[in-house]
Amino acid sequence: MGVCMTATLVETSYREAIGMALAEEMRRDSTVILMGEDVADAGGVFKATLGLKDEFGAARVRDTPISEMGFVGAGLGLAITGYRPVVELMFADFIGVCYDQIANQIAKYRYMSGGQTAVPMVIRAVGGAGLRFGAQHSQTCETWLLANPGLKIVCPSSPKEAYGMIKAAVRDDNPVLVLEHKGLYGNRGEFECGEEGLVDLKNPALVRPGKDMTIVASLAMVGRCLKACDIVAEKGIEPEVIDMRVLRPMDVSPIVASVRRTNRLITVEEGPRVGGWGAEVAAQITDEAFDDLDSPPLRITLPDHPMPFSAPLEDAVLPSAEGIAETIVALHEGG
Amino acid sequence: MTIQREFSNRSKQLCDDALIEMYRSMVTIRQFEDEIQRCFLKGMMQGTTHLCQGQEAVSVGAMKTLRDDDYITCTYRGHGQCLARGMPIDRTFLEILGRKGGVCQGKGGSMHLTDFSRGLLGSFAIVGAGLPVAVGAGLSAQLRGDGQVSMTFFGDGSTNIGAFHEALNLAAVWQLPVVFVCENNLYGEYSPLRATTTVDDLAVRAAAYDLPGYVVDGNDVLAVYDAIGDAVDRARRGLGATLVECKTYRHSGHSRTDPATYREQAEVDAWLARDPIARLRSELVEREILTIAQSEAIGSELLANMQEVSHAAGEAPWPDEKVMREDVLV
């Protein structure tokens, strides 16, 4: 596991970036407590928390029973009594068994008490498709959480974002859901570590400047959109790519600014079409920049059925770089 | 592991003033709930509320065992616990009426009374939801190591929901200082316990987690104090959690719209004859700690205050609209 004592450029995987961020925050703040299934002795099924129990001990790095409602609720109890829990959901899909704690309790706690307490809590949920895990272990669960005021929801698309977002989430006094993508865990990237590596949990961010259209994507779709841009570059098309990053509170102002220049919008998300964040972005852009749009906003999403298991079927369901490139070309030519 | 029904008699150590204070607290809760009911009938209160007349001994006996720095979670039938813990009557009343000055600024209401200054971490309106949160507070207490205890109140209905079992298991496996207080009032909403549950003593469920299960007469405030006092002691000494089942009865229906016609009159009468306030009064009179006249004077004095609080709450302004947009995020 990487160690970073001063601000330095490091090169690690998304997985290691998560572990580094957690270790640094635990060193900095003794009230940070890690909990989750197999996070301690085994270091997590995806190995993001490997070695943390050895460094911080069994009191602060805790294996839990398979009991999400219990330990997510316990995380809330810790958060309102002086600790900063980081709770791992081994698969984001397990949000289904602790949704009451997230949506009814954690999200509304500060509000219902009239602001008597903060809820400094992080829930890391590992989602995403592409690993042949079937319908119940492949969802990003972005849409499940979108409708809950009181939560911050962030989606790291790279090692840099994973590192910076987790550090910032641990320091945030609000409940922050970090929706990680298991398909990105092996991806490598460079970033500044230490205090320089902290990122804000506020806005979408420009990741590739362009002029012909604005593409907004989250998680694994960011990388696929960048590849798609490489493909269409041969035809002289230059889309601008924005990483959605933060689903809640949603701030579309960078997207508005971009669309005012490019006059077209495509959203790309790994989730169902109805109720997705792309629909919300499209609606808000239509509200705020209708006159700047040369064509209706386009949404690339998953089709309206559960994720199949079989490899070619799963591949066919997920938006590919080639498929996104075709949409880009069609929109460019149509316009 | 068998159920324990005998406890230390620590209540014998309570001084006269403490006993009178407990009596006053129980009468206060009764009058508060009666007054809330009247406010409903007069149209002064909106939404719903879940009253606890008949269950005052559990709240008062339990709170008497706690330190100021202990943690508590309640349910939507939680007025009694909050008042017994010292939540100010006027600010509680204002909150329940949705008026300015309420403990939660009008954003919680009857089902979400919360007062962090008194360790009241919240009242939960989703059945069972408070138990895991209390377990987390118990973990916090254990990590801090100052001997704090986390106490969670819930009803008989909660023992059939997953959160109950997950919370007991987690508290057991981590040996946390948590006291699980089940107020078994024999009805989960409108359904009698026997229609939804196969066991008569809910405390047997503790055995599944290798935790002690206590059963106590929840209408005897001193017995409640003894039993829960033992459980709190265990928790403070690092011996872990206990499930305490307090057998009690709600005099009214589940919520304001429920006349509770599903209960046999004979059953209601039998429980009314075991009214916890009347029982404590009899005991205090018998022990010559209180005279009948003194008990009546306490009742009148508290009632006059309650009516004043209720009147003032009814006259209080509504909250400023800006508060509804605040406290979503820090």
Tell me the backbone φ, ψ of residue B188, rounded to 5 degrees.
Answer: -95, 105
Nearest CA in chain A to B108: A112
The question of whether A234 is a catalytic residue gets the answer no
How many Å from the N-terminal Cα to the C-terminal Cα in chain A? 49
Nearest Cα residue in chain A from B161: A69
Q: Of these residues, A16, A24, A37, A68, which one is catalytic?
A: A68
**Cβ contact (<8 Å) for B143 and A113?**
no
Q: Comparing C-alpha atoms, which of A272, A268, A273 is closest to residue A328?
A: A268
The Cα–Cα gap between A321 and A220 comes to 11
Q: What is the dihedral of CA A74, A79, A85, A89, to 10 degrees?
A: 50
* Tokens at B117, concatenated: 């200054």
A68 lies in some domain: yes
Instruction: Name residues 142-161 of chain A within 8 A of B (Cβ).
Output: 149-150, 152
B58: CB partners within 8 A, 6+ apart: B80, B153, B181, B183, B218, B224, B246, B248
B133/A33 touch (CB, cutoff 8 Å), yes or no: no
What is the Cα–Cα distance from B138 to B151, expressed in whole angstroms? 8
Cα distance between the two ends of chain B: 47
User: Which DSSP string corresponds to A66-122?
Assistant: S-HHHHHHHHHHHHTTT-EEEEEESSGGGGGGSHIIIIIIITTHHHHTTSS-----E
Q: Which residue has the tokens 């079989």?
A: A310
Residue A234 covered by a domain: yes
Distance, in Å, from the CA atom of B68 to the CA atom of B87, rounded to the nearest integer, reads 12
What are the angstrom distances between the C-alpha of B13 and each of B21, B147, B231, B306?
Answer: 14, 22, 17, 31
| Dist CA B56 CA B250 (whole Å) | 10
Q: Is B188 within a domain?
A: yes
Pick from B214, B201, B218, B182: which is nearest to B55 by CA?
Answer: B218
pLDDT, tens only, A257-301: 999 999 999 999 999 999 999 999 999 999 999 999 999 999 999
Structure confidence at residue A7 (pLDDT) = 62
Return the residue matching tokens 């770089």. A321
> How many Å lie between the alpha carbon of A298 and the closest alpha carbon of chain B?
32
Cβ pair A101:B138 closer than 8 A: no
Contact A176, A169 (CB under 8 A): yes
pLDDT band at A8 (very low <50, low <70, confident <90, very high): confident
Assign residue A303 the CATH number of its domain.
3.40.50.920
Looking at the 3D structure of chain A, how many domains does it have? 2
CA separation for the pair B187, B175 (Å, rounded): 31
Q: Out of A69, A111, A150, whose CB is closest to B132?
A: A69
User: At which of A197, A220, A238 does a domain end?
Assistant: A197
- Concatenated DSSP letters of B161-227: SHHHHHHHHHHHHTT--EEEEEEE-SEETTEEHHHH-S-S-GGGGGGGGT--EEEEETT-HHHHHHH
Closest-CA distance, B273 to chain A, in angstroms, reads 38
Q: Based on the fold, state whether residues A183 and A223 are members of the same structural domain.
A: no
* Average pLDDT per 10 consecutive residues for chain B, totaling 330 residues: 92 98 98 94 89 95 98 96 98 97 96 97 96 98 98 96 98 98 92 91 97 98 98 98 97 83 91 96 97 97 97 96 96
Which residues, other chains included, contact B95 with Cβ-Cβ below 8 Å and sequence gap of 6+? B102, B103, B104, B106, B108, B109, B110, B113
Any domain includes B322: no
The pLDDT of residue A334 is 85
> Is B317 part of a structural domain of the chain?
no
A137 tagged catalytic? yes
**A297 to chain B, minimum CA–CA distance in Å?**
30
Q: What are phi and psi of B19, to 5 degrees?
A: -65, -40
A213 and A181 within one domain:
no
Domain span at A187: 9-197
Alpha helices (H) in A108-158, listed in sequence order = 109-112, 142-146
Which chain B residue is nearest to residue A82, measuring alpha carbons?
B140
Residue A4 within any structural domain of the chain: no
Torsion of CA B252, B254, B258, B264, to 10 degrees: -60
Arithmetic mean of pLDDT, A231-239 = 97
Nearest C-alpha in B relative to A65: B170
Alpha carbon distance A268, A299 (integer Å) = 6
How far is it, in rounded angstroms, from Cα A301 to Cα A272? Answer: 6
A250/B contact by beta carbon, under 8 A: no
pLDDT at A183 over 70: yes
**A75 interaction partners in chain B (CB closer than 8 Å):** 136
Residue A33 and residue A119 in one domain: yes
Q: Give the mean model confidence (pLDDT) for residues A235-259.
A: 98
Co-location of A218 and A164 in the same domain: no
CATH number at residue A75: 3.40.50.970
Q: Which of A33, A113, A174 is the closest to B329 by Cβ?
A: A174
Q: In the numeric block, which tokens belong to residue B178?
A: 């948590």
Sign for the pseudo-dihedral over CA of A177, A181, A186, A191: negative
Q: Give the nearest chain A residue to B323 (CA atoms).
A: A114
The predicted pLDDT at position B254 comes to 83
Assigned domain for B40 exists = yes
Q: What's the predicted TM-score (pTM) here?
A: 0.96
Residue A258's contacts (CB-CB under 8 Å, 6 or more residues apart) are A206, A214, A240, A242
Q: What percent of chain A has pLDDT over 90?
A: 97
* Annotated catalytic residue within A16, A24, A88, A137: A137
Q: Which residues of chain B does A86 touch, with a Cβ-Cβ cutoff of 8 Å?
A: none
Q: Number of folded domains in chain B?
A: 1
Tokens of B171: 């508290």
DSSP calls for B267-316? HHHHHHTT-HHHHHHHHHHHTTSS-HHHHHHHHHHHHHHHHHHHHHHHHS
Q: Is the residue at B316 inside a domain?
A: no
Question: What is the 3-class SS of B24-38, one letter each residue?
Answer: HHHHHHHHHHHHHHH
What's the pLDDT score for residue A335? 60
Q: Which residues in chain A have Cβ-Cβ distances shorter than 8 Å to B103?
A: 114
Q: Would an 8 Å CB–CB cutoff place A106 in contact with chain B?
A: no
**Alpha-carbon dihedral of residues B254, B259, B260, B261, nearest 10 degrees?**
-160
Residue B307, pLDDT score: 97
Residue A3 lies in a domain: no
Decide if B140 and A77 are in contact by the 8 Å CB cutoff: yes
Specify the pLDDT at position A3: 55
Mean of per-residue pLDDT scores for chain A:
96
Sign of CA pseudo-dihedral A227, A233, A237, A243: positive
Tell me whether residue B194 is in a domain: yes
Amino acid code (one letter) for B304: A
Same domain, A152 and A248: no
Q: Strands of A239-243's sheet, edge to edge? A: A205-208, A239-243, A213-217, A265-272, A298-302
| A117 close to B (CB below 8 A) | yes
Q: Which residues of B touch A114 (CB under 8 A)?
A: 102-108, 114, 323, 327
- H or E stretch covering A294: none
Residue A149 shares a structural domain with residue A35:
yes
pLDDT at B252: 86
Identify whether B182 is part of a domain. Answer: yes
Of A140, A172, A197, the residue that ends a domain is: A197
Residue A115 predicted with pLDDT over 60: yes
Give the bridge partners for B182, in sequence order: B154, B245
Residue B1 is predicted with a pLDDT of: 60
B234-239: list long-range contacts, CB under 8 Å, 24+ apart.
B235/B138, B235/B149, B235/B150, B235/B176, B235/B177, B235/B178, B235/B179, B236/B147, B236/B149, B236/B177, B238/B175, B238/B177, B239/B175
Asked if residues B232 and B71 have their Cβ atoms less than 8 Å apart, the reply is: no
CA angle B124, B125, B129 (to 5 degrees): 55
- A248–B contact, CB cutoff 8 A: no
- Residues A89 and A191 grouped into a single domain: yes
Query: Could you tell me if A304 and A227 lie in one domain?
Result: yes
**Res. A4: pLDDT tops 70:** no
pLDDT band at A52 (very low <50, low <70, confident <90, very high): very high
Question: What are the percentages of helix, strand and coil residues in chain B, rounded to 5?
Answer: 50, 10, 40
Check CB contact of B35 with chain A, cutoff 8 Å.
no
pLDDT given at position B96:
96
Q: Taking a C-beta distance cutoff of 8 angstroms, is the pair B240, B171 a contact?
A: yes
- Residue at a domain's end among A153, A179, A197: A197
At B283, the amino acid letter reads E
| Owning domain of residue B229 | 10-311
CATH label of the domain that carries residue B93: 3.40.50.970
Residues of A in contact with B144 (CB under 8 A): 82
